[in-house]
């Protein structure tokens, strides 16, 4: 009887401890996650908040409190709560602007990012890896989403770089005249383009020369292969996930992940429920963590970052509804046995490595090498002025005199001045 009571007591004690111990572990996992993130604040690869500012406010942000906005996944307070240390703001413009006013719209989005970052003391626009490292607030960077923003112009690409753009996603959901998207059937632009054309290769080279990160999210398998072959610098996927886990066209297959490892590039994993779960009903933090585990297995944790795509899509996993929830992912990965170094890597160190290397590659080029290629114009557009072939004798629409006349007038004028000065 005594024995039975002791056993019973023992059992009760065991049950009691089994209640406490896991609770302590969970709490300490959370605490560990938060401590880790305090030390290594997240660099997130892709956020479409700026698109929402256009949709909701037509970019008129001076009267809007971006700290407390509650219509979006993102606001500044939530970013801080999510331990975000740097954010690439996407300056996406719709594919339907291609061959129309994509350039103007892109400049306007860039302008909104700058105005936003100038207006809030917790935000700081940066353009270098060192700038991210040095930033005490939330470092703001700019990423173009879709090559249609450059309107097939290397000069425009350069001007975007001068404005602070530091990555370009080669396509969005539409082909450009020089690169192929992974999306089929959404738009009907340039259906015969496969991978990268000759001009597309020039774009890659110019991006390497400028020090602009090449982002392969949204691009087709052929485009990815071509870019990985040509690029002298590591590349990124700013917001994609693992094809083996969910075979969505936006995701990256294993063979590419292996090439990415050799390239020393990075896949910044997206939180978009549709690309994580392939239609499964239950989508939660574990679903996302499966992608991280898989990519780590194939390409190593050093190839991984985070690019959630908040405010760019509608559906997010349970538990990751907005930008304050990042610590929950880190907590889950801790639970799965990821160590601190690996987690600091995915939070920021891996991206910084890639960015620094892209900057190093830039330093190997000279200013003399600026790309002067132009795309072969296969078709005339109603939204383009056709200047025709270069001329020997240029003319302007309002000019009345030819070039020859002013030149002869030079001689006449100087002669007349001679006579005037010297007199007769």
Partner 1 sequence: MPGGNVWVLVLALALPSTGQQHLEEAERIMSTTPVIDGHNDLPWQLLRKFNNQLRLPAANLTLLNDTHTNIPKLRRGHVGGQFWSVYVPCETQNKDSVRRTLEQMDVVQRMCDLYPETFACVTDSSGIREAFRSGKVASLIGVEGGHSIDSSLGVLRTLYRLGARYMTLTHSCNTPWADNWLVDTDDEKPVHHGLSPFGKTVVEEMNRLGMMVDLAHVSVDTMKVVLNISKAPVIFSHSSAYSICPHRRNVPDDVLQLVASTGSLVMVNFYNAYVTCSDKAKLSDVADHMDHVKKVAGAQAKFDGLLVCPVSLERWHCHPPIHCHFWKTINVGVRNQTSLFSP
Write down the residue that tokens 């306007």 correspond to. Answer: 108
* Strand locations in 146-223 (E): 165-169, 213-215
Q: Which of 76, 86, 112, 276 binds partner 1 (CB under 8 A)?
A: 112
Q: Which of 367, 378, 379, 380 binds partner 1 (CB under 8 A)?
A: 367
Q: Which of 30, 158, 232, 261 binds partner 1 (CB under 8 A)?
A: 158
Contact call for residue 153 and partner 1 (CB under 8 A): yes
Write down the residue that tokens 């660099």 correspond to. Answer: 43
Residues 277, 287 contacting (CB under 8 angstroms): yes
Contact call for residue 357 and partner 1 (CB under 8 A): no
Q: Which of 31, 35, 134, 374 binds partner 1 (CB under 8 A)?
A: 374
- Please give the helix or strand (H or E) that residue 422 lies within, else none: helix 404-422
Helix spans in 40-128 (H): 49-57, 76-81, 102-119
Range in contact with partner 1 (rule: CB under 8 A) among 34-42, 44-52, 320-328, 386-394: 386-394
Q: Is 309 in the active site?
A: yes
Q: Is 145 in the active site?
A: yes
Residue number with CB closer to partner 1 (15 or 376): 376
Q: Is 291 in the active site?
A: no
Give the total of residues touching partner 1 (CB under 8 A). Answer: 53
Residues 271, 309 contacting (CB under 8 angstroms): yes
Residues 75, 66 contacting (CB under 8 angstroms): yes
Partnered with residue 47 across adjacent β-strands are 89, 310
Helix spans in 40-101 (H): 49-57, 76-81
Q: Which of 162, 255, 297, 340 binds partner 1 (CB under 8 A)?
A: 162
* Strand locations in 254-343 (E): 266-269, 304-306
Residue number with CB closer to partner 1 (282 or 392): 392
Binding mask 397-416 for partner 1 (x = CB under 8 A): xx-xx-x-xxx-xx-xxx-x
Q: Is 381 in the active site?
A: no
Q: Which of 8, 194, 370, 376 binds partner 1 (CB under 8 A)?
A: 370
Q: Which of 30, 34, 114, 264 binds partner 1 (CB under 8 A)?
A: 114
Contact call for residue 417 and partner 1 (CB under 8 A): yes
Contact call for residue 194 and partner 1 (CB under 8 A): no
| Cα–Cα distance, 252 to 217 (Å, whole number) | 9
Write down the residue that tokens 């006449």 correspond to. Answer: 412
In three-state secondary structure terms, 394 is coil
Contact call for residue 121 and partner 1 (CB under 8 A): no
Query: Whole-number minimum distance, CB 350 to partner 1, in Å?
Result: 31
Q: Is 48 in the active site?
A: yes
Interhelix angle 102-119/49-57, rounded to 10 degrees, is 100
Q: For residues 33-62, which are near partner 1 according to CB under 8 A?
A: 59
Q: Which of 277, 233, 227 is nearest to 256 (CA)?
A: 227
Q: Is 349 in the active site?
A: no
| Cα–Cα distance, 177 to 150 (Å, whole number) | 11
Partnered with residue 2 across adjacent β-strands are none
Residue number with CB closer to partner 1 (282 or 424): 424
Point out the catalytic residue in the list 46, 148, 248, 291. 46
Range in contact with partner 1 (rule: CB under 8 A) among 205-213, 239-247, 255-263, 381-389: 381-389
Query: Whole-number minimum distance, CB 70 to partner 1, in Å?
Result: 26
Residues 239, 268 contacting (CB under 8 angstroms): yes
| Cα–Cα distance, 148 to 268 (Å, whole number) | 22
Point out the catalytic residue in the list 172, 187, 248, 294. 172
Q: What is the CA radius of gyration of the chain?
A: 27
Q: Which of 155, 230, 278, 313 binds partner 1 (CB under 8 A)?
A: 155
Q: Which of 103, 288, 299, 346 binds partner 1 (CB under 8 A)?
A: 103
How many H helices and E strands in the chain?
15, 9
Where does this chain bind partner 1 (CB under 8 A)? 59, 101, 103-104, 107-108, 110-112, 114, 151, 153, 155-156, 158-159, 162-163, 367-368, 370, 372, 374, 382-385, 387, 390-392, 394, 396-398, 400-401, 403, 405-407, 409-410, 412-414, 416-418, 420-423
Give catalytic residue positions: 46, 48, 145, 172, 218, 239, 309
């Amino acid at each position: 009887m005594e024995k039975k009571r002791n056993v019973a007591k023992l059992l009760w004690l065991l049950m009691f401890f089994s209640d406490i111990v896991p609770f302590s572990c969970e709490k300490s996992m959370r605490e560990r996650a938060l401590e880790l993130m305090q030390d290594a604040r997240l660099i997130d690869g892709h956020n479409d908040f700026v698109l929402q500012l256009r949709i909701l406010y037509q970019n008129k942000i001076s009267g809007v409190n971006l700290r407390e906005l509650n219509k979006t996944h993102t606001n500044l307070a939530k970013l801080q709560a999510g331990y975000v240390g740097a954010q690439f703001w996407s300056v996406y413009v719709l594919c339907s602007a291609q061959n129309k006013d994509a350039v103007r719209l892109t400049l306007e989005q860039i302008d909104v990012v700058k105005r936003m970052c100038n207006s809030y003391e917790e935000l700081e626009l940066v353009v270098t890896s060192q700038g991210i490292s040095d930033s005490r607030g939330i470092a703001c960077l700019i990423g173009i989403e879709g090559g249609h923003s450059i309107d097939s112009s290397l000069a425009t690409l350069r001007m975007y770089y001068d404005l602070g753009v530091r990555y370009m996603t080669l396509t969005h959901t539409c082909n450009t005249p020089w690169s192929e998207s992974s999306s089929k059937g959404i738009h009907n632009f340039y259906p015969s383009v496969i991978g990268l054309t000759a001009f597309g290769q020039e774009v890659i080279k110019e991006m390497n020369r400028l020090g602009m990160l090449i982002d392969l999210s949204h691009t087709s398998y052929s485009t990815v292969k071509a870019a990985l072959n040509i690029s002298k610098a590591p590349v990124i996927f700013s917001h994609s996930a693992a094809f083996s886990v969910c075979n969505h066209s936006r995701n990256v297959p294993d063979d590419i992940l292996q090439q990415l490892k050799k390239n020393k590039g990075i896949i910044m994993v997206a939180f978009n429920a549709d690309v994580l779960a392939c239609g499964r009903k239950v989508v939660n933090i574990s679903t996302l963590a499966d992608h991280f585990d898989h990519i780590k297995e194939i390409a190593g944790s050093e190839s991984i970052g985070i690019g959630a795509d908040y405010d760019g899509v509608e559906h997010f996993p349970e538990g990751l509804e907005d930008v304050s929830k990042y610590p929950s992912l880190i907590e889950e990965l801790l639970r799965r046995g990821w160590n601190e170094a690996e987690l600091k890597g995915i939070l920021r160190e891996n991206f910084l490595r890639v960015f620094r290397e892209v900057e190093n590659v830039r330093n190997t080029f000279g200013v003399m090498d600026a790309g002067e290629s132009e795309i072969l114009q296969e078709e005339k557009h109603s939204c383009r002025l056709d200047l025709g072939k270069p001329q020997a004798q240029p003319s302007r629409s309002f000019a009345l005199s030819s070039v020859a006349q002013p030149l002869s007038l030079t001689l006449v004028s100087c002669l007349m001045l001679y006579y005037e000065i010297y007199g007769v």
